[in-house]
Chains A and B, each alone.
Chain A
Amino acid sequence: GAVVSQHPSWVICKSGTSVKIECRSLDFQATTMFWYRQFPKQSLMLMATSNEGSKATYEQGVEKDKFLINHASLTLSTLTVTSAHPEDSSFYICSARAPGGVTDTQYFGPGTRLTVL
C-alpha cells in the first residue's frame, strides 16, 4: 500500500523558535497533501491543503503566516511552525491523496508530536 513518512516523529523546542516538519510520499507521487493537527482525544482538524507547485489553501482560522506550507515536489511537503508557542503543542499529521483512485482516499503519515516549552 501507499506509504507516507513524516520527520521528525517528535520535537521539543523553546518558545519563539521555528520548527519544520517534513511529509514524504515514499512510493507514489502526491499532487495534493493535507496537514492536520490533533489534540488529545479529539479528531483530526484540517489545517491546510498543500498543492504541488502552488500556494496552499488554508482552512478558516488557520494563520497562514504562522503555519508555512511548501509543496516543492510531488513527494515532499513541509510545514513550518513559525515562532512557536506552547499553545502550538499538538500532534501534527500529514496525508497524501493517492492518485488514480476512484474514491477520496488518503494515506496518513505517522504524525509528529510537537512540544513547545
Chain B
Amino acid sequence: QKEVEQDPGPLSVPEGAIVSLNCTYSNSAFQYFMWYRQYSRKGPELLMYTYSSGNKEDGRFTAQVDKSSKYISLFIRDSQPSDSATYLCAMSANTNAGKSTFGDGTTLTVKP
C-alpha cells in the first residue's frame, strides 16, 4: 500500500465549478502538507502548504488538513480554464529531511 493515495481522476468540470481534490495517507508522522500544480511538460509549482491540521486559504484555493482522519483536501472555487493541470499532493514528516512523499496526481480539466 502506498503511503500517499490520491484520487486518480481525471476530473472534468465546467468553468465556475467548485473543485475538490483529495489525498489520504498512512504515515502519522507527516506534519507538513503541500499541494503542487503541474502543467503539461512543466515542473510542479507550489500552490499551498499547511502545517498540522486546519485550513488555509489563498484566493480561490483552500487547503484542509485533518490529521485525525489522515485526509487532506484542496478546494478550488470559481474554477477557471487556466486551472486545468495535474495537481499533486505531497507531505513530509519534518523540515530538515527534505524528502516529501508525493501522490500520483489528479488531472483536472476546466471546460469553458
Interface size on A, residues (CB 8 A): 26
21 contacts between A and B (CB under 8 A): A6-B43, A34-B99, A41-B107, A43-B88, A43-B104, A44-B102, A49-B98, A49-B99, A103-B32, A103-B34, A103-B51, A104-B32, A104-B94, A104-B97, A104-B98, A105-B46, A105-B49, A108-B43, A108-B46, A110-B43, A113-B41
Q: Does A97 contact B98, Cβ atoms closer than 8 Å?
A: yes
Contact partner of B99 among A42, A46, A101, A109, CB < 8 A?
A46
Q: A43-B104, A43-B105, A111-B43 given; name 15 further pairs at CB < 8 Å.
A: A6-B43, A34-B99, A41-B105, A43-B88, A43-B103, A44-B88, A102-B51, A102-B95, A104-B94, A104-B96, A105-B46, A106-B46, A106-B100, A108-B45, A111-B42
Which residues 9-61 in A have Cβ within 8 Å of B in the complex?
32, 34, 41-44, 46, 49
| Chain A residues within 8 Å of B45, by CB | 108
Q: Are A103 and B49 in contact (CB under 8 A)?
A: yes
What's the Cα separation between A91 and B41 when bound, in Å? 8
Whether a CB of chain A sits under 8 angstroms from the CB of B24 is no
Contacts of A44 in B (CB 8 A): 44, 88, 102
Tally of B interface residues using CB under 8 Å: 25
Assembled-state Cα–Cα distance A106/B49 (Å): 11
| Residues in chain A near residue B98, CB distance under 8 A | 32, 34, 49, 97, 104, 106
A residues sitting closer than 8 Å to B (CB atoms) are 4, 6, 32, 34, 41-44, 46, 49, 91, 93, 95, 97, 101-111, 113
